[in-house]
Amino acid sequence: MANSQTNNNKKLRKGIFLGTMAVLILGGGLFWMVSGDDSVGVFASYTVQQGPLTISVLESGTIKAKEQIIIKNEVEGRTSIIYLIEEGTRVKKGDLLVELDASSLLDQKIDQEISVQNAEAAFINATEKLAVAENQAESDKDAAELALDFAREDLKKYKEGEYPSQLKEAEAKIKLAEEELERAQDTFEWSQKLSEEKYISENELQADRLAVTRRELDLELTIGNRDLLRDFTYPRQIKQLESDIRQAEMALERTYRKANADVIQARAELNAKEAEYNRQKEKLQKIEDQIRKTKITAPADGLVIYATSAQRGGWRGNDEPLDEGQEVRERQELIYLPVGLSSIAEVTIHEASLKKVHAGLPAVVTVDALPGRRFLGTVDFIAPLPDPQSMWMNPDLKVYNSIVSLLEEDEALRTGMSCKVEIIVERYESATSVPVQAVLRVGGEPTVYVINGKKAEPRPVEIGLDNNRMIRIVSGLQEGEKVLLNPPLEAASIDMQASESSQSEQSETNQRIDDRLSEVRNRRQVSSDSSAAVAEPAGMPRQEAAGQGFGEGAFPAPSAEQMEEMRKRLENMTPEQREELRKRFENMTPEQREQMRQGRGGRQRGPRQEPSGEQR
C-alpha cells in the first residue's frame, strides 16, 4: 500500500515537472515569436567571401555514340527472338545479329502462293475472254453492216432493176395482147365475110368470135397486172425495203453498242483480275520480304549494344532486357552499332535552368564508370519543347532533352554509361558570393540581412547568376561581412514578380491584398465570438470555460507527451509556419491571450466537462 502510494506520488511529481517544462518551452517559443526581438545570436550566419565562382547547371545523363546505326525490328506485329548475338561482340558487315521466328510467315507464304496461282488463272481467263469479246464484236459489226448494205442494195435493185423490168414485161404483155386482139378481130372480120359467103361454117365463126373475146380478156388482164404492179406492188415493196434499211441501221447500232459493252465489260473484268493478281503477288512479295527481315544482319562493322541497355530511364526503362525467346514489337529498337569513337551525352534540362543554358556553352562530363576522369564537351542541342514522356509520367515535371557533344574520343566511353554533365554558364576568377537562401526580395529588390552587432539590418544588393548553391553579388556587400542564412521571411515581398512591375501597380496590389486580409480577419473574429458564446455556459467564468472548452482562443491543457510533441513541432517549423503562428498570436485579443496563459495551469486534458446543473 505504501509502495503504491509512493509510486503514485512519483508519477504525479513527474507529470507536474513535465507539464511545467512544456509550458515553459511553449511560452518561451511564443514569447520569442511575438517579442519581435532582432537578436541574431541564435541564427546561422555566413561570412561573405570573394574568390573563384563557377555558375553551372548539373544534370544526370547517359553516354551514347555520336554516330551509330539503330537497328529496329521491321517485322509486322509481334515476333519472338530465336537467336540473339551476345552483347559486346565485335561484328563485321553482314554478320547475323538477330533471327526472329518466321514459322507463321512461312505458312502464310504457302497460302499466298496458292492465292497467286488462282489469281493468275483468273487473269489469263479474263484475257482470253476479252479477246473473244473483241473478236465477236468485230464479227457482229461486220454482219450488221453487211445486212445494212444488202438492204440498201435490195432497195436500189428493186427501184432500178426489178420494178422497171416487171413494168416493161407488163407493158410488153399488154402490147402482145393488143396485137393478138387486133389479129383476132381481123380474123373474126374475115370469118364473118366468109360466113356470109358460106365459105366457113357457123362453128368456125363462133370459134373466131370466142378467140376475140379471149384476147380482149387477156388484154384486160395484162393491163390489170400492170396497174397492180404500178399502183400497189411497187409502193408496198418500196416501203418494205426502206423499212428493211432502217431496221438494218438500228440493228447495226445495237450491234455496235452491244459489242462495245461486251468489250468494255471484258476489259473491266480483265483489269480487275489483273489488279487482284498484282495485289496477290505484292502480298507474296511482302511476305517474302518479311521473311527476309526475320534475319537481321550487321549493316557495318561495329560493337553490339542492346537497345534496352542504352535506354536511360523513363517508361522505356521498364522494358525487359533483350534476350532469346522474348517478344518484340514492330519498329522496336533492338541493337545499336556505334560506327566511330565520338560520343555524346544525352541529358534532360529542367525548365528552371533554361534561362541560363543555351547551345554552344561548354560542359564538363564525368562518367561514373571512369572515376577521376573529366571530359570536355559542348552543348549542341536543346529541344524546343519539353519531353512528352516525362510529362506523361509526371505532368508537373517539364524537362527538355538536350545533347552535349564530347570533344575527346576515347575507347573507354561506351553507350549506356551513366554520367554527370556540368554545363558551365559563367566562370569568375574573383567574385563575391553568398548562399542563395541568404537573398530574398523585399519590395521587389534583392536584399540580404547583414549582421551588425546583435542586430540584422536589411541591405539591398545587386545580384548576378546562381548555381543553385551560391549566388553572385555584383554590388552591395564586402568581403568579410556576415549575413543571415535564414533571413526573416515576413520582410519578403509577397509578389515575387514585383521587381518587374511598376511601383504604382505594386502599391495597388499590396492595398488589395491588405483589404482582403482585413476581411478574412473580421470574419474570423465574428466566427470566434459566435463559437465562444455557444461554448461558454451562462454563469461560468470565462477563464474556467477556456480551460475546458475548445472555442477560438481557448486551449485545453495538454499532457506531457503532447507538450513534448508541441515542442518538437515548434523546432521543426519552417520560417513561414513560424510567421503564420506569430501572426495568429498577434491577432488574438487580450482576453484570448490571458485564457491561453491560464490554460497552462497543469490541468490534464480529459473529456470535455459539461456545466453542472447549478451553473446551468
The torsion of the CA quartet 510, 511, 514, 520, rounded to 10 degrees, works out to -120
Same domain, 154 and 181: yes
- Residue 457 placed within a domain: yes
Q: Which of 198-202, 258-262, 566-570 has the highest mean pLDDT?
A: 258-262
Residues 397-418, mean pLDDT to the nearest whole number: 87
How would you classify the pairing of strands 362-367 and 333-338?
Answer: unpaired
pLDDT value, residue 81: 94
- Residue 224 placed within a domain: yes
Question: Quick check: 414 pLDDT over 60?
Answer: yes
pLDDT value, residue 515: 75
Neighbouring-strand partners of residue 423: 57, 363
- Residue 97 placed within a domain: no
pLDDT tens digits, residue range 225-270? 888 888 888 889 888 888 989 998 999 999 999 999 999 999 999 9
Q: Which of 312, 147, 120 is nearest to 245 (CA)?
A: 147
Same domain, 348 and 371: yes
d(CA 582, CA 569): 14
pLDDT value, residue 80: 93
Q: Which of 343, 349, 364 is nearest to 417 (CA)?
A: 343
- What lies within 8 Å, CB to CB, of 77 at 6+ separation is 329, 330
Q: Please count the other Cβ atoms lying within 10 Å of the Cβ belonging to residue 469.
A: 11
Q: Which of 24-33, 193-202, 416-425 has the highest mean pLDDT?
A: 416-425
- Residue 99 placed within a domain: no
Residues 583-600, mean pLDDT to the nearest whole number: 62
d(CA 92, CA 95): 6
Q: Which of 482-491, 521-530, 592-601 has the highest mean pLDDT?
A: 482-491
- Residue 615 placed within a domain: no
**57-61, 182-186, 539-543: which range is least confident on average?**
539-543
Chain CA centroid to CA 169, Å: 99
d(CA 239, CA 232): 11
**42-46, 312-316, 332-336: which range is least confident on average?**
312-316
Q: Which of 363, 424, 305 is nearest to 65 (CA)?
A: 305
Q: Which tops the pLDDT comparison, 427 or 586?
A: 427
Q: Domain span at residue 38?
A: 2-42+505-598
C-alpha cell at 284: 507474296
Same domain, 421 and 446: no
pLDDT tens digits, residue range 503-524? 565 566 667 777 777 777 777 6
pLDDT value, residue 427: 84
Same domain, 492 and 522: no
d(CA 287, CA 66): 35
- Residue 124 placed within a domain: yes
Number of domains in the chain: 4
Q: Please count the other Cβ atoms lying within 10 Å of the Cβ belonging to residue 27.
A: 13
Instruction: Write the single-letter amino acid at 450.
Output: V
Instruction: Name the percent of the chain lying above pLDDT 70.
Output: 73
- Looking at the chain, how many residues does it have? 616
Rounded to whole angstroms, the maximal C-alpha distance in the chain is 213
Q: Where are the alpha helices (DSSP H) in 229-328?
A: 234-293, 307-310
Residues 572-598, mean pLDDT to the nearest whole number: 66
Same domain, 55 and 23: no
d(CA 581, CA 592): 15
Question: Quick check: 314 pLDDT over 50?
Answer: no
C-alpha cell at 80: 519472338
User: Residue 138 maps to which CATH number?
Assistant: 1.10.287
Last residue of a domain, one of 293, 317, 332: 293
pLDDT value, residue 331: 92
324 φψ region: left (φ > 0), alpha (ψ -120 to 50), beta (else)? beta
- Residue 609 placed within a domain: no
Same domain, 67 and 161: no
pLDDT value, residue 290: 94
Q: Which of 401, 355, 353, 394 is nearest to 380 (CA)?
A: 401
Neighbouring-strand partners of residue 547: none
Residue 329 near residue 363 (C-beta atoms within 8 A): no
C-alpha cell at 266: 471484258
Last residue of a domain, one of 293, 314, 342: 293
Residue 134 near residue 141 (C-beta atoms within 8 A): no
Rounded to the nearest 5°, which phi and psi values hold at 450? -90, 130
Residues 373-399, mean pLDDT to the nearest whole number: 87
pLDDT tens digits, residue range 115-131? 999 999 999 999 999 99
**83-97, 496-510, 582-596: which range is least confident on average?**
496-510
- Residue 118 placed within a domain: yes
pLDDT value, residue 79: 93
pLDDT tens digits, residue range 432-449? 888 988 888 887 788 888
Same domain, 359 and 343: yes
pLDDT value, residue 613: 37
Mean per-residue pLDDT over the chain, rounded: 77
Question: Quick check: 317 pLDDT over 80?
Answer: no
Same domain, 154 and 274: yes
Q: Which of 18-22, 91-95, 415-419, 580-584 has the highest mean pLDDT?
A: 91-95
Same domain, 425 and 444: no
C-alpha cell at 374: 573529366
Q: Which tops the pLDDT comparison, 589 or 306?
A: 306
pLDDT tens digits, residue range 20-74? 555 444 444 443 343 344 455 556 888 888 888 888 888 999 888 888 889 999 9
Rounded to the nearest 5°, which phi and psi values hold at 337? -120, 95
d(CA 154, CA 239): 12
Same domain, 357 and 400: yes
Last residue of a domain, one of 239, 264, 293: 293
Question: Quick check: 159 pLDDT over 90?
Answer: no
Instruction: Name the percent of the chain lying above pLDDT 90.
Output: 24
Neighbouring-strand partners of residue 326: none
pLDDT value, residue 452: 83
Residues 570-576, mean pLDDT to the nearest whole number: 67
User: Residue 412 maps to which CATH number?
Assistant: 2.40.30.170
**2-11, 248-257, 318-327, 343-352: which range is least confident on average?**
2-11
d(CA 202, CA 1): 202
pLDDT value, residue 453: 79
Same domain, 218 and 258: yes
Chain CA centroid to CA 37, Å: 60
Same domain, 222 and 284: yes
313 φψ region: left (φ > 0), alpha (ψ -120 to 50), beta (else)? left
Residue 304 near residue 91 (C-beta atoms within 8 A): yes
d(CA 300, CA 336): 11
- What lies within 8 Å, CB to CB, of 353 at 6+ separation is 57, 59
Residue 307 near residue 334 (C-beta atoms within 8 A): yes
pLDDT value, residue 97: 93
d(CA 382, CA 398): 13
